[in-house]
Amino acid sequence: MSEPASVPPQEAAKASLRARHALLKRLADVVSLPASRVNTFERAVTGDLLVEMLRLASPQERKRVAVRLTPLAELPNSLTRMLLRDEPDIAASLIEGCAALNDADLCACAADTGLDHRFLMASRRGLSEVVTESLIAFDEPAVIQALLRNATARLSQPGIEAIVSLSRLTPGLCEHLLRRPELRPSGAYVMFWWCGPEDRKTILQRFAVSREVLQEVSEDVFAMAADENWQDPVARKALQFIERRQRNRAAIEKSPYDSLEHAIAEGARLGLTPELAAEIAYLAGIKPLTGAKILGDPGGEPLAILCKATGLSRLDLEHLWRSVRRPLVDAAGQPHADWARVQMIYEMLAVDRAQTVLRYWNWSLSSAMSPSLMKAIREGDEEALDQYSAPERAAMMALAEDFGR
């Protein structure tokens, strides 16, 4: 009697793999059954068995199972953890579209995986503030840019502040950050210092707000503060931000110059010295540190804001432009692009809105300064940001490069 022909090893392996494929599919089907067919414990046990099989399965098999499970509203936790931490191509379908994932799943995935997983996660619909904060904490520009483009993601104010800080080193984020509804004027005003011309224009158009309502509700409070001889520093500081008058009358009385216009004209004629720059700042009602930041800005737009806020004319703006040794015309004899842009900013801004921006800068760049904050700025200690208030953090970010020079 002849012996049965032996099965070649390759065909035997294929036969065993067919059984594996079938079993993987059946187990995935069981996990996918509705609650009326399989209870939570049965689903969990099936998930554990599926995890053990997937550990030895091929990438194609794991991806097939991941795609099969993506539409489910409930998944065994062990299976979720394994597939989310798999290769990005396998985890992608779950990360982007699985409704069964909760905030804890997503935050753990962000912490345990890499840039590719976090980039996929940033585009997921409906991300909560908890998840977006966990993604922002990695300071990865590509991930944050994808997050900013995700209109369905919700960003917390601490998250927005972290992105504002990061945008100082990654200016490409500014354009996308300015489109977010969560961004507030305080963040936009400090971003202004490192934004490009178009982004600066957007900030002034969108965030240079009026103080008319504040002035209306506090109109009688000015008289109260005056009766108290302005002794309360808290009320005095707030009312200085709200009041309509920008120039410092007391400084004008003590100044060797007849007016702010006179001081600026002297700067255009003789050149701007540190002493004259400080005098212009005092006359304009701002601190010398704020004035130095404005006069030294390479873009020039802050000069237009200063002039408009203090009621200076177009001629005064030209004098100030000359005093900081900026060109009016280019090599071809045409109006220089920077000068044309600064004139446009001057024309588009209302006085009240220009004052809002100028006073916030003065408040954040000078009034909030303290010895400890100055030390943190010089040392570049951005981890210390949480210890300070919003204007103090703004000062740290805006002045960091100046102190580093």
pLDDT in tens, 289-305: 899 899 989 999 999 99
Helix (H, G, I), strand (E, B) or coil at 191: helix
pLDDT, tens digit, for every residue of 214-249? 889 998 998 898 989 889 988 888 888 888 889 998
Of 102-106, 364-368, 398-402, highest mean pLDDT: 102-106
How many helices (H) and strands (E) are present in the chain, helices listed first? 26, 0
Summarize pLDDT for 25-63 with one digit per residue, the tens.
766 766 766 666 766 777 677 777 777 777 777 888 888
The confidence score (pLDDT) of residue 402 equals 53
Give the count of beta carbons closer than 10 Å to the beta carbon of residue 154: 15
Could you tell me if 314 and 343 are in contact, meaning their C-beta atoms sit under 8 angstroms apart? yes
- Ramachandran region of residue 300, left (φ > 0), alpha (ψ -120 to 50) or beta? left
Residue 391 binned pLDDT confidence (cut-offs 50, 70, 90): very low
Question: How does DSSP classify residue 405?
Answer: -
pLDDT by residue (tens digit) across 304-363? 999 999 999 999 999 999 999 999 998 888 889 999 999 999 999 999 999 999 999 988
What lies within 8 Å, CB to CB, of 193 at 6+ separation is 293, 297, 398
Output DSSP code: residue 333. S
Burial 138-152, CB ≥16 within 10 A → b, else e: eebeebbbbbbebee
* Cβ contact 107:131 at 8 Å: yes
Tokens of 142: 């590509």
> Residue 333 has what pLDDT?
87
pLDDT of residue 403 exceeding 60: no
- Hey, which of 74-88, 141-155, 278-292, 373-387 has the most confident mean pLDDT? 141-155
Instruction: Tell me the average pLDDT across 201-207.
Output: 94
Written as six digits, the tokens of 395 are 């000062």
84 — phi, psi (to 5°)? Answer: -65, -30
| CA-wise closest residue to 192 among 208, 210, 211 | 208
Helices (H), 211-336: 212-217, 219-227, 233-242, 249-254, 260-270, 274-283, 288-295, 301-309, 314-323
Confidence of residue 10 (pLDDT cuts 50, 70, 90): low
pLDDT bracket for residue 15 (50, 70, 90)? low
Query: Quick one: 104 exposed, middle or buried, by C-beta within 10 A (0-12, 13-18, 19+)?
Result: exposed
Nearest Cα residue to 23 out of 54, 63, 60: 54
Please tell me the total number of residues recorded for the chain in this structure.
Answer: 405
Does residue 377 come out as left (phi exceeding 0), alpha (psi in the -120 to 50 range) or beta?
Answer: alpha
Q: Residue 233: its pLDDT value, please?
A: 87
Distance between CA atoms of 385 and 162, rounded to whole angstroms?
A: 10
How far is 299 from 203, CA to CA, in rounded Å? 14
Identify whether the C-beta of residue 188 lies closer than 8 Å to the C-beta of residue 162. Answer: no
- Give the per-residue pLDDT at 13: 47
C-alpha pair distances (Å), 37 with each of 28, 31, 77, 104 = 14, 10, 19, 27
- In this structure, what DSSP letter does residue 127 have? -
Give, in order, the Cα–Cα distances in Å from 378 to each of 126, 290, 374, 401.
40, 17, 6, 9
Cα 272 from Cα 389, distance rounded (Å): 34
pLDDT band at 375 (very low <50, low <70, confident <90, very high): low
